[in-house]
Amino acid sequence: MAKTSGVMSVAELEQILDDRKVKALELGKRREELQKQLDEIDRQILEVMGDNRVVRRRRRRLKNDMSLRSHVLELLGKSKKGFSMADLTTKIIDAGYKSSSRNFRNVLYQCLYNTQGVTFDQATGCYKLK
């Protein structure tokens, strides 16, 4: 393993990395198996208890055909005047974007703030493309 001088060769380091990758894959498979067992137990609890007991499940991430940034850039590209935050929020949701966020306006604000090429016009209160 390690030489007496404390220096490891490249081959030894690669072997350690390979061992860790294998271990991570094994643990991932084990987690999936355990999650399936937990889901089955949750189903059985619901079956026995009915709807009186709330069983928390892992929330699945919603899949959209376009990212939020893509929706924003597309909408702002169509309008020279720009859109207010409220208008953007309704137009994006009407376009079919799905979000499980409790505060979608905050998510949208973060997207606008971190997207290069989008500016806020304080005079009109609208977001526009540069």
- Domain spans in the chain, listed from the N-terminal domain onward: 10-52, 68-129
Of all residues in the chain, what percent are helix, strand and coil, respectively (each to 5)?
60, 5, 35
Question: pTM score, two decimals?
Answer: 0.53
Confidence (pLDDT) at 52 = 58
Confidence (pLDDT) at 54 = 57
DSSP E strands in the chain: the ranges are: 118-121, 126-129
Confidence band of 56 (pLDDT split at 50, 70, 90): low
Q: Which residues neighbour 61 within 8 Å (Cβ) at sequence distance 6 or greater? A: none
Judged by average pLDDT, the poorest of 54-58, 60-64, 84-88, 105-109 is 54-58
